[in-house]
Amino acid sequence: MAKNKSRTDDAAAPEIVDTEPVKLTQFAHGGGCGCKIAPHVLEQILAKTAPAIVPKQLLVGIETSDDAAVYQLNAEQALVATTDFFMPIVDDPFDFGCIAATNALSDVYAMGGVPLLALAIVGMPINKLPLETIKRILEGGESICARAGIPIAGGHTIDSLEPIYGLVAIGLVHPDNLKRNSGARPGDKLILGKGLGVGFYSAALKKGLLSASNYASMIASTTQLNTPGRALGCLAGVHAMTDVTGFGLLGHLVEICKASRVSAVIDYAALPILANALDYAEKACITGASERNWVSYGEHVVRPTKHLSEVEQALLTDPQTSGGLLIACAPEVVTEVLSIFLQEGFDHATVIGELSTGKARVSVVGGKSGSD
Protein backbone atom coordinates (compact mmCIF):
# COMPACT_ATOMS: atom_id res chain seq x y z
CA MET A 1 0.00 0.00 0.00
CA ALA A 2 1.27 3.45 -0.82
CA LYS A 3 2.01 5.69 2.12
CA ASN A 4 -0.48 8.49 2.68
CA LYS A 5 1.71 11.56 3.12
CA SER A 6 1.03 15.20 3.82
CA ARG A 7 3.17 18.25 4.21
CA THR A 8 0.80 19.41 6.94
CA ASP A 9 1.34 16.36 9.18
CA ASP A 10 3.23 18.41 11.78
CA ALA A 11 0.93 21.43 11.65
CA ALA A 12 -1.68 22.13 14.27
CA ALA A 13 -4.98 20.47 13.47
CA PRO A 14 -7.45 23.02 12.10
CA GLU A 15 -10.44 23.78 14.24
CA ILE A 16 -13.71 22.21 13.13
CA VAL A 17 -16.50 24.74 13.25
CA ASP A 18 -20.13 24.71 12.23
CA THR A 19 -20.60 26.65 9.01
CA GLU A 20 -23.12 27.13 6.28
CA PRO A 21 -22.63 24.75 3.33
CA VAL A 22 -19.68 25.98 1.29
CA LYS A 23 -19.68 26.33 -2.47
CA LEU A 24 -16.66 24.40 -3.63
CA THR A 25 -16.54 26.15 -6.99
CA GLN A 26 -15.90 29.50 -5.31
CA PHE A 27 -12.43 28.25 -4.35
CA ALA A 28 -11.43 27.26 -7.89
CA HIS A 29 -10.53 29.36 -10.92
CA GLY A 30 -11.63 26.49 -13.17
CA GLY A 31 -13.46 23.22 -12.79
CA GLY A 32 -13.46 19.63 -14.00
CA CYS A 33 -11.69 18.77 -17.25
CA GLY A 34 -11.98 22.43 -18.23
CA CYS A 35 -8.91 22.87 -15.99
CA LYS A 36 -6.72 21.13 -18.53
CA ILE A 37 -3.83 23.06 -20.04
CA ALA A 38 -4.84 24.02 -23.59
CA PRO A 39 -3.75 21.41 -26.17
CA HIS A 40 -1.39 23.69 -28.11
CA VAL A 41 0.30 24.89 -24.91
CA LEU A 42 0.71 21.32 -23.65
CA GLU A 43 2.21 20.34 -27.00
CA GLN A 44 4.80 23.10 -26.70
CA ILE A 45 5.70 22.04 -23.15
CA LEU A 46 6.16 18.38 -24.04
CA ALA A 47 8.14 19.25 -27.17
CA LYS A 48 10.85 20.80 -24.99
CA THR A 49 11.27 17.84 -22.66
CA ALA A 50 14.21 15.47 -22.92
CA PRO A 51 13.74 12.21 -24.86
CA ALA A 52 12.28 9.54 -22.62
CA ILE A 53 13.57 6.05 -21.98
CA VAL A 54 11.32 3.71 -23.98
CA PRO A 55 11.70 0.04 -22.98
CA LYS A 56 10.28 -2.53 -25.40
CA GLN A 57 7.67 -3.50 -22.82
CA LEU A 58 6.16 0.02 -22.93
CA LEU A 59 3.34 -0.56 -25.38
CA VAL A 60 1.84 2.93 -25.02
CA GLY A 61 3.65 6.07 -23.89
CA ILE A 62 3.27 9.77 -24.69
CA GLU A 63 3.84 9.48 -28.43
CA THR A 64 0.18 9.78 -29.54
CA SER A 65 -1.38 11.55 -26.53
CA ASP A 66 -3.23 8.38 -25.59
CA ASP A 67 -5.34 7.96 -22.46
CA ALA A 68 -2.94 5.89 -20.35
CA ALA A 69 0.49 4.33 -20.29
CA VAL A 70 0.55 0.57 -20.90
CA TYR A 71 3.42 -1.71 -19.87
CA GLN A 72 3.47 -5.37 -20.86
CA LEU A 73 4.08 -7.75 -17.96
CA ASN A 74 3.83 -11.07 -19.79
CA ALA A 75 2.13 -12.67 -22.79
CA GLU A 76 -1.33 -12.28 -21.27
CA GLN A 77 -1.14 -9.20 -19.07
CA ALA A 78 -0.25 -5.55 -19.53
CA LEU A 79 -0.40 -2.89 -16.83
CA VAL A 80 -2.52 0.20 -17.54
CA ALA A 81 -1.46 3.28 -15.55
CA THR A 82 -3.03 6.73 -15.60
CA THR A 83 -3.81 9.69 -13.37
CA ASP A 84 -6.44 12.39 -13.48
CA PHE A 85 -7.38 15.16 -11.06
CA PHE A 86 -8.98 18.58 -11.14
CA MET A 87 -10.72 21.37 -9.24
CA PRO A 88 -14.44 21.26 -8.41
CA ILE A 89 -16.98 21.38 -11.22
CA VAL A 90 -19.88 21.22 -8.73
CA ASP A 91 -20.46 22.52 -5.20
CA ASP A 92 -21.63 19.31 -3.56
CA PRO A 93 -18.51 17.60 -2.13
CA PHE A 94 -19.77 14.04 -2.51
CA ASP A 95 -20.75 14.65 -6.14
CA PHE A 96 -17.36 16.25 -6.82
CA GLY A 97 -15.58 13.17 -5.46
CA CYS A 98 -17.79 10.87 -7.53
CA ILE A 99 -17.19 12.82 -10.76
CA ALA A 100 -13.42 13.03 -10.29
CA ALA A 101 -13.10 9.31 -9.56
CA THR A 102 -15.32 8.31 -12.50
CA ASN A 103 -13.27 10.52 -14.80
CA ALA A 104 -9.97 9.03 -13.63
CA LEU A 105 -11.09 5.41 -14.06
CA SER A 106 -12.40 6.15 -17.54
CA ASP A 107 -8.89 6.13 -19.01
CA VAL A 108 -8.44 2.49 -18.02
CA TYR A 109 -11.70 1.50 -19.71
CA ALA A 110 -10.74 3.56 -22.77
CA MET A 111 -7.68 1.35 -23.27
CA GLY A 112 -9.87 -1.77 -23.16
CA GLY A 113 -8.73 -2.53 -19.62
CA VAL A 114 -10.22 -3.40 -16.25
CA PRO A 115 -9.37 -1.28 -13.15
CA LEU A 116 -7.34 -3.04 -10.46
CA LEU A 117 -6.76 -0.41 -7.76
CA ALA A 118 -6.50 3.33 -7.23
CA LEU A 119 -4.51 5.87 -5.22
CA ALA A 120 -6.09 9.15 -4.13
CA ILE A 121 -4.63 12.54 -5.06
CA VAL A 122 -5.86 15.16 -2.60
CA GLY A 123 -5.03 18.86 -2.38
CA MET A 124 -7.23 20.98 -0.12
CA PRO A 125 -7.20 24.52 1.37
CA ILE A 126 -7.23 22.95 4.79
CA ASN A 127 -7.96 26.16 6.72
CA LYS A 128 -10.81 27.21 4.43
CA LEU A 129 -12.81 24.03 3.98
CA PRO A 130 -14.52 22.21 6.86
CA LEU A 131 -12.99 18.80 7.43
CA GLU A 132 -16.41 17.23 6.98
CA THR A 133 -16.53 18.69 3.46
CA ILE A 134 -13.16 17.17 2.61
CA LYS A 135 -14.28 13.86 4.07
CA ARG A 136 -17.37 13.87 1.85
CA ILE A 137 -15.20 14.42 -1.25
CA LEU A 138 -13.16 11.35 -0.36
CA GLU A 139 -16.30 9.37 0.34
CA GLY A 140 -17.60 10.23 -3.11
CA GLY A 141 -14.45 8.87 -4.72
CA GLU A 142 -14.57 5.76 -2.56
CA SER A 143 -18.17 5.08 -3.56
CA ILE A 144 -17.26 5.09 -7.27
CA CYS A 145 -14.28 2.82 -6.72
CA ALA A 146 -16.51 0.46 -4.76
CA ARG A 147 -18.90 0.42 -7.70
CA ALA A 148 -15.96 -0.41 -9.97
CA GLY A 149 -14.98 -3.20 -7.59
CA ILE A 150 -11.56 -1.80 -6.64
CA PRO A 151 -9.92 -0.40 -3.50
CA ILE A 152 -8.36 2.99 -2.96
CA ALA A 153 -5.13 1.55 -1.60
CA GLY A 154 -3.39 4.75 -0.54
CA GLY A 155 -2.63 8.20 -1.85
CA HIS A 156 -1.03 11.56 -1.21
CA THR A 157 -2.33 14.77 0.36
CA ILE A 158 -1.16 18.39 0.37
CA ASP A 159 -2.44 21.69 1.71
CA SER A 160 -3.27 23.66 -1.44
CA LEU A 161 -4.85 26.97 -2.41
CA GLU A 162 -7.66 25.31 -4.38
CA PRO A 163 -9.52 22.03 -3.82
CA ILE A 164 -8.03 19.29 -5.98
CA TYR A 165 -9.11 15.67 -6.09
CA GLY A 166 -8.51 12.73 -8.38
CA LEU A 167 -6.97 9.30 -8.66
CA VAL A 168 -4.04 7.35 -9.91
CA ALA A 169 -5.78 4.43 -11.60
CA ILE A 170 -4.09 1.10 -12.25
CA GLY A 171 -5.64 -1.59 -14.42
CA LEU A 172 -4.92 -4.68 -16.47
CA VAL A 173 -5.53 -5.49 -20.12
CA HIS A 174 -4.65 -8.44 -22.33
CA PRO A 175 -2.14 -7.12 -24.89
CA ASP A 176 -4.33 -8.45 -27.71
CA ASN A 177 -7.29 -6.42 -26.41
CA LEU A 178 -5.43 -3.15 -26.00
CA LYS A 179 -7.15 -0.30 -27.83
CA ARG A 180 -4.94 2.64 -28.78
CA ASN A 181 -6.04 5.91 -30.34
CA SER A 182 -3.72 5.08 -33.24
CA GLY A 183 -5.53 2.03 -34.61
CA ALA A 184 -8.41 3.67 -36.50
CA ARG A 185 -8.82 2.73 -40.16
CA PRO A 186 -10.38 4.31 -43.26
CA GLY A 187 -13.99 3.18 -43.53
CA ASP A 188 -14.47 2.94 -39.75
CA LYS A 189 -17.64 4.30 -38.22
CA LEU A 190 -17.40 6.69 -35.25
CA ILE A 191 -19.58 6.02 -32.21
CA LEU A 192 -19.92 8.33 -29.19
CA GLY A 193 -21.09 6.83 -25.91
CA LYS A 194 -22.42 9.82 -23.91
CA GLY A 195 -24.27 13.04 -24.62
CA LEU A 196 -22.38 16.32 -25.06
CA GLY A 197 -22.93 19.52 -23.09
CA VAL A 198 -21.38 18.96 -19.66
CA GLY A 199 -19.36 22.17 -20.00
CA PHE A 200 -22.53 24.15 -20.76
CA TYR A 201 -24.16 22.64 -17.68
CA SER A 202 -21.18 23.53 -15.48
CA ALA A 203 -21.16 27.13 -16.74
CA ALA A 204 -24.89 27.39 -16.07
CA LEU A 205 -24.37 26.04 -12.56
CA LYS A 206 -21.81 28.73 -11.79
CA LYS A 207 -24.27 31.37 -12.98
CA GLY A 208 -27.08 29.92 -10.89
CA LEU A 209 -29.12 29.00 -13.97
CA LEU A 210 -28.94 25.20 -13.97
CA SER A 211 -32.26 23.54 -13.12
CA ALA A 212 -32.49 20.71 -10.60
CA SER A 213 -33.46 18.22 -13.30
CA ASN A 214 -30.54 19.21 -15.51
CA TYR A 215 -28.17 19.04 -12.54
CA ALA A 216 -29.40 15.49 -12.00
CA SER A 217 -28.71 14.75 -15.66
CA MET A 218 -25.22 16.19 -15.30
CA ILE A 219 -24.44 14.00 -12.29
CA ALA A 220 -25.91 10.91 -13.95
CA SER A 221 -23.70 11.41 -17.00
CA THR A 222 -20.47 12.34 -15.25
CA THR A 223 -20.69 9.51 -12.70
CA GLN A 224 -21.52 6.76 -15.20
CA LEU A 225 -18.46 4.54 -15.43
CA ASN A 226 -17.34 3.84 -19.00
CA THR A 227 -17.54 0.10 -18.37
CA PRO A 228 -18.44 -0.80 -21.98
CA GLY A 229 -14.72 -0.36 -22.69
CA ARG A 230 -14.05 -3.76 -21.12
CA ALA A 231 -16.21 -5.64 -23.64
CA LEU A 232 -15.30 -3.36 -26.54
CA GLY A 233 -11.65 -4.17 -25.98
CA CYS A 234 -12.40 -7.79 -26.80
CA LEU A 235 -13.93 -6.97 -30.21
CA ALA A 236 -11.46 -7.24 -33.07
CA GLY A 237 -13.66 -4.93 -35.11
CA VAL A 238 -13.09 -2.09 -32.65
CA HIS A 239 -9.93 -0.51 -33.99
CA ALA A 240 -9.45 2.56 -31.77
CA MET A 241 -10.92 3.97 -28.60
CA THR A 242 -10.53 7.05 -26.43
CA ASP A 243 -12.68 9.05 -24.06
CA VAL A 244 -13.92 12.57 -24.72
CA THR A 245 -12.87 14.88 -21.89
CA GLY A 246 -11.31 18.33 -21.55
CA PHE A 247 -10.31 18.90 -25.18
CA GLY A 248 -13.88 18.36 -26.35
CA LEU A 249 -15.18 16.05 -29.07
CA LEU A 250 -13.18 17.74 -31.84
CA GLY A 251 -9.95 17.75 -29.85
CA HIS A 252 -9.97 14.06 -29.03
CA LEU A 253 -11.09 13.14 -32.54
CA VAL A 254 -8.24 15.20 -34.00
CA GLU A 255 -5.89 13.16 -31.78
CA ILE A 256 -7.28 9.94 -33.30
CA CYS A 257 -6.88 11.35 -36.81
CA LYS A 258 -3.28 12.40 -36.19
CA ALA A 259 -2.32 9.15 -34.46
CA SER A 260 -4.06 6.94 -37.06
CA ARG A 261 -3.29 9.12 -40.11
CA VAL A 262 -6.90 9.27 -41.22
CA SER A 263 -9.50 11.93 -41.95
CA ALA A 264 -12.86 12.16 -40.17
CA VAL A 265 -16.30 13.45 -41.03
CA ILE A 266 -18.86 14.01 -38.30
CA ASP A 267 -22.53 14.79 -38.78
CA TYR A 268 -23.53 17.60 -36.44
CA ALA A 269 -27.19 16.57 -36.64
CA ALA A 270 -26.30 13.09 -35.32
CA LEU A 271 -24.56 14.29 -32.17
CA PRO A 272 -26.14 13.20 -28.87
CA ILE A 273 -26.75 16.29 -26.70
CA LEU A 274 -27.77 16.46 -23.05
CA ALA A 275 -31.22 17.91 -22.40
CA ASN A 276 -31.41 21.72 -22.61
CA ALA A 277 -27.62 22.03 -22.95
CA LEU A 278 -27.89 24.20 -26.05
CA ASP A 279 -30.43 26.43 -24.31
CA TYR A 280 -27.84 27.25 -21.66
CA ALA A 281 -25.23 27.92 -24.33
CA GLU A 282 -27.62 30.39 -25.97
CA LYS A 283 -27.61 32.20 -22.61
CA ALA A 284 -23.81 32.53 -22.78
CA CYS A 285 -23.16 29.56 -20.50
CA ILE A 286 -19.99 28.58 -22.35
CA THR A 287 -16.68 27.84 -20.64
CA GLY A 288 -13.45 29.65 -21.41
CA ALA A 289 -11.88 26.27 -22.16
CA SER A 290 -14.15 25.91 -25.20
CA GLU A 291 -12.53 28.87 -26.95
CA ARG A 292 -9.03 27.80 -25.86
CA ASN A 293 -9.70 24.39 -27.39
CA TRP A 294 -10.69 25.92 -30.73
CA VAL A 295 -7.56 28.08 -30.80
CA SER A 296 -5.51 24.94 -30.20
CA TYR A 297 -6.83 22.73 -32.99
CA GLY A 298 -9.24 24.75 -35.14
CA GLU A 299 -6.77 24.63 -38.03
CA HIS A 300 -7.43 20.88 -38.27
CA VAL A 301 -11.20 21.33 -38.60
CA VAL A 302 -13.16 21.94 -41.80
CA ARG A 303 -16.48 23.61 -41.06
CA PRO A 304 -19.60 23.64 -43.26
CA THR A 305 -19.66 26.05 -46.18
CA LYS A 306 -21.91 28.28 -44.10
CA HIS A 307 -20.00 28.53 -40.86
CA LEU A 308 -21.23 26.93 -37.69
CA SER A 309 -22.95 29.23 -35.25
CA GLU A 310 -21.06 30.19 -32.10
CA VAL A 311 -23.14 27.75 -30.07
CA GLU A 312 -22.67 24.89 -32.55
CA GLN A 313 -18.92 25.38 -32.58
CA ALA A 314 -18.85 25.65 -28.79
CA LEU A 315 -20.62 22.29 -28.49
CA LEU A 316 -17.92 20.62 -30.55
CA THR A 317 -15.15 22.09 -28.36
CA ASP A 318 -17.08 21.95 -25.06
CA PRO A 319 -14.87 20.35 -22.37
CA GLN A 320 -16.54 17.11 -21.30
CA THR A 321 -15.74 16.24 -17.73
CA SER A 322 -16.01 12.46 -17.47
CA GLY A 323 -17.32 12.26 -21.02
CA GLY A 324 -18.16 9.28 -23.18
CA LEU A 325 -16.08 6.77 -25.07
CA LEU A 326 -15.32 7.58 -28.70
CA ILE A 327 -15.06 4.42 -30.80
CA ALA A 328 -13.69 3.81 -34.29
CA CYS A 329 -14.98 0.45 -35.50
CA ALA A 330 -15.60 -1.57 -38.64
CA PRO A 331 -19.11 -1.07 -40.09
CA GLU A 332 -19.98 -4.74 -39.55
CA VAL A 333 -19.65 -4.48 -35.76
CA VAL A 334 -21.61 -1.23 -35.29
CA THR A 335 -24.74 -3.10 -34.17
CA GLU A 336 -22.76 -5.13 -31.64
CA VAL A 337 -20.99 -2.05 -30.30
CA LEU A 338 -24.26 -0.17 -29.84
CA SER A 339 -25.78 -3.24 -28.18
CA ILE A 340 -22.95 -3.34 -25.63
CA PHE A 341 -23.54 0.31 -24.81
CA LEU A 342 -27.30 -0.18 -24.44
CA GLN A 343 -26.88 -3.28 -22.26
CA GLU A 344 -24.81 -1.20 -19.84
CA GLY A 345 -27.28 1.69 -19.72
CA PHE A 346 -25.75 4.13 -22.22
CA ASP A 347 -28.86 5.31 -24.05
CA HIS A 348 -27.10 8.26 -25.76
CA ALA A 349 -24.68 6.04 -27.68
CA THR A 350 -24.93 6.60 -31.42
CA VAL A 351 -23.02 6.73 -34.71
CA ILE A 352 -21.77 10.28 -35.33
CA GLY A 353 -19.53 9.95 -38.38
CA GLU A 354 -16.91 7.96 -40.24
CA LEU A 355 -13.25 7.88 -41.21
CA SER A 356 -11.55 7.95 -44.59
CA THR A 357 -8.11 8.27 -46.14
CA GLY A 358 -6.69 11.75 -46.32
CA LYS A 359 -5.12 14.51 -44.27
CA ALA A 360 -5.46 14.27 -40.49
CA ARG A 361 -8.41 16.58 -39.98
CA VAL A 362 -12.08 16.62 -39.02
CA SER A 363 -14.80 17.84 -41.38
CA VAL A 364 -18.13 18.85 -39.88
CA VAL A 365 -21.28 18.53 -41.95
CA GLY A 366 -24.83 19.53 -41.07
CA GLY A 367 -25.82 21.96 -38.35
CA LYS A 368 -28.56 24.56 -38.40
CA SER A 369 -26.29 27.20 -39.92
CA GLY A 370 -25.67 25.35 -43.12
CA SER A 371 -24.45 22.13 -44.71
CA ASP A 372 -21.56 21.05 -46.87
User: Which has more pLDDT, 47 or 337?
Assistant: 337
What's residue 169's pLDDT?
A: 97
Provide the pLDDT confidence category of residue 26 given band limits of 50, 70 and 90. Answer: confident
Q: Range(s) for CATH 3.30.1330.10 in the chain?
A: 5-176
Q: Which residues contact 335 (CB under 8 A, 6 or more apart)?
A: none
> Do residues 334 and 327 touch, judged by C-beta distance below 8 A?
no
Q: How far apart are CA 273 and CA 316, in angstroms?
A: 11
What's residue 67's pLDDT?
A: 79
Q: How far apart are CA 179 and CA 191, in angstroms?
A: 15
What's residue 66's pLDDT?
A: 75
Check pLDDT > 50 for residue 14.
Answer: no
Check pLDDT > 60 for residue 15.
Answer: no
Check pLDDT > 90 for residue 184.
Answer: yes
62-98 pLDDT, tens digit each: 888 877 899 999 999 999 999 998 999 999 999 999 9
Q: What Å distances lie between residue 303 and 358, 359, 362, CA to CA?
A: 16, 15, 9
Check pLDDT > 50 for residue 18.
Answer: no
Provide the pLDDT confidence category of residue 32 given band limits of 50, 70 and 90. Answer: low
Check pLDDT > 90 for residue 116.
Answer: yes
Q: How far apart are CA 195 and CA 346, in angstroms?
A: 9
33 is catalytic: yes
What's residue 114's pLDDT?
A: 98
The total of other beta-carbon atoms located within 10 Å of residue 143's CB is 15
Q: What average pLDDT does range 291-305 have in this prediction?
A: 84
What's residue 303's pLDDT?
A: 80
What's residue 296's pLDDT?
A: 84
Check pLDDT > 90 for residue 198.
Answer: yes
Query: Which residue out of 33, 257, 285, 329 is catalytically annotated?
Result: 33
Provide the pLDDT confidence category of residue 299 given band limits of 50, 70 and 90. Answer: confident
CATH topology of domain 180-365: Phosphoribosyl-aminoimidazole Synthetase; Chain A, domain 2 (3.90.650)
Provide the pLDDT confidence category of residue 50 given band limits of 50, 70 and 90. Answer: low
Check pLDDT > 70 for residue 342.
Answer: yes
Check pLDDT > 50 for residue 5.
Answer: no
117-137 pLDDT, tens digit each: 999 999 999 999 999 999 999
> Do residues 140 and 103 touch, judged by C-beta distance below 8 A?
no
Average pLDDT, the chain: 88
Q: Range(s) for CATH 3.90.650.10 in the chain?
A: 180-365
**pTM, full prediction:** 0.87
Q: What average pLDDT does range 339-355 have in this prediction?
A: 97
What's residue 42's pLDDT?
A: 64
Q: What percent of the chain has pLDDT over 70?
A: 85
Provide the pLDDT confidence category of residue 102 given band limits of 50, 70 and 90. Answer: very high
Provide the pLDDT confidence category of residue 325 given band limits of 50, 70 and 90. Answer: very high
What's residue 30's pLDDT?
A: 62
What's residue 43's pLDDT?
A: 66
The alpha carbon dihedral of 274, 277, 315, 295 has a sign of negative
Provide the pLDDT confidence category of residue 36 given band limits of 50, 70 and 90. Answer: low
Closest CA to 80 of 121, 120, 113: 113
What's residue 12's pLDDT?
A: 45
Q: What average pLDDT does range 206-235 have in this prediction?
A: 97
Check pLDDT > 60 for residue 16.
Answer: no
**CATH number given to 5-176:** 3.30.1330.10
Provide the pLDDT confidence category of residue 320 given band limits of 50, 70 and 90. Answer: very high
User: Which has more pLDDT, 201 or 368?
Assistant: 201
